[in-house]
Structure 1
Amino acid sequence: MSLSDARPSGTPPFWAPGTPIMWRYGDPARPHWATPMTVVRDDADALVAWLPAGTPVLKVGRADGGGFRDGDAATMFTAERTQLVGTWEEYDVLRVAPTGRPWSVWWFFPAGQATFEGWYVNLEDPHVRDADTTYSTDHVLDVWVEPDRTHHRKDVDELALAVEQGRYTPGQAARITAVAAEVEDVIAAWGPPFCDGWETFRPDPSWPVPQLP
């Protein structure tokens, strides 16, 4: 599928709870990140999906061996990349992509447990979709929020490397940083989706572990 043909998330038809989908970051014609997930809720406000530990996933690695963050940091964003298959480990994650927002929020639970450990805010393009996949592009910078609502930015150093290595212009990096500030304002106001109570979510036990197509 050409991403130019994708439609914005938040418009019908919506996916029913329990529907298996793919959640992809990056150009699917190139090495990219992708996770099969199960839809929890999908409507005009947000897409909510579940990712259990043990799920097979697509990852990006360096063509010379190793993971994306392995090797010389000076080539993190310039090294040739290859597609890898791995497994999502350690945590079950509920992801919420609010419609039209340039970020999604991930609720982290230790694998198989109901204990909530915190929110991870992934800065990214607003989602678009086709019949069975939602697409976005990761923006490197992230925000971690503790259960007590304290928070800090993650991967600030990687955003600086992305500018140095030509992935982003300084202006683009400034806009990404501005989005992080907007997220922090939402956290300070405790607006949605943080206030929506997903910390107590547990999946339908009949849902199978999602699989790659």
Structure 2
Amino acid sequence: MDRFFERGEVILYRRVRNGRVMLAIPMRVVEDSPQHLVLYQAPNTAFKSARNPDGSKVRDFSSWVLTDLVWKGGSLLRLIRPGDWHCVDVEFDSLGDFESWYVNFQTPFQRTARGVDTDDLVVDLVVTADRGYRVKDTDDFRRAVAEGHISADSAAHVEIELARMIERVRRCEEPFVSSTWLTWQPPAGWSSPPSVPPYAGQ
């Protein structure tokens, strides 16, 4: 049985497609239980991510390179539940104040000895503090499905999950309600981002 991670432990959150790492970022464990895994990403965290050779966003998933980058936004908490086809980021600005929710659609996460792996499914849902929302990257999603980079089964899960999460926003249901996560502050010492381990892209 895969172990649960300790509070404060630095693990590697990766997005992997067909055995190739497309994103690897070190994050600290806030909570880990059978119900959920909560991770913290500090400002200015260094990470590796897929990019075109010119540094632009990847839209053709048949050709890309893993690039060293630094996170330019504020901090965030990543809420992940076993079996879910999404994760929810609680995003904070540079002063540590709650800014928005960001729903990333992905395959259910798998635990590894070093962290967790998932596969990004392109579509994202951005939810503002007043619960306005917008769906991102639907054209890229359709292109990835048409070109076979995302399976028909995974695409069906995304469509169902996206509709379900939008309905939660409209009904003001979890996780889009006031909660302790919106005012959460990192413990002393967590503001310094962890380094990217040498095996991150492997």
SS at match of 2:20: coil
In 2, distance between residues paired with 1:178 and 1:53? 32
Q: CA deviation at 1:120?
A: 0.3
Letter in 2 for 1:85: D
Answering whether residue 77 of structure 2 is matched by residue 87 of structure 1, we say: no
Q: What displacement does 1:171 show?
A: 5.8
Q: Aligned residue for 1:61?
A: 51
CA contact (8 A) 1:21 1:39 kept: yes
Cα separation, partners in 2 of 1:42 and 1:169, compared to 1, 3 Å: closer
Which stretches in structure 2 are left out of the alignment for 5+ residues? Answer: 198-202
User: Which one of 74, 82, 89 corresponds to residue 99 of structure 1?
Assistant: 82
Match of 2:183 among 200, 203, 207: 200
How much does 1:163 deviate?
2.7
| Aligned partner of 2:135 among 136, 146, 153 | 153
Does the C-alpha gap of structure 1 residues 109 and 43 become closer, same or farther in structure 2, counting only changes over 3 Å? same
Distance 1:66 1:201 in 2: 33
| Aligned pairs, number | 195
Secondary structure at the aligned position of 2:98 is classed as coil
SS of 1:114's equivalent? coil
**Residue of structure 1 equivalent to 2:25:** 35
- 1:4 is aligned to none
- 1:170 deviates by 5.4
Q: Which residue of 1 aligns with 2:173?
A: 191
Q: Cα RMSD (Å) of the superposition? A: 2.1
Does the 8 Å CA contact 1:56/1:87 hold for their aligned counterparts? Answer: yes
Runs of 4+ in 1 over 6 A off after TM superposition: none
CA contact (8 A) 1:23 1:135 kept: yes
Q: Is the 8 A contact 1:31 1:81 kept in 2?
A: no
Identify unmatched segments of 5+ residues in structure 1. Answer: 1-6
> Of 13, 35, 39, which residue of structure 2 is paired with 1:23?
13
State the SS of the aligned residue for 1:153. Answer: strand
Percent identity reads 28
Change (3 A) 1:29 1:171: closer
Pair 1:77-2:61 in alignment: yes
Q: 1:98–1:193: 8 Å Cα contact kept in structure 2?
A: no
| Secondary structure in structure 2 of the residue aligned to 1:54 | coil
TM-score normalised by L of structure 1: 0.82
Deviations 1:55-91 (A, max 9, x none): 11011122x432334xxx5xx233x221111111122
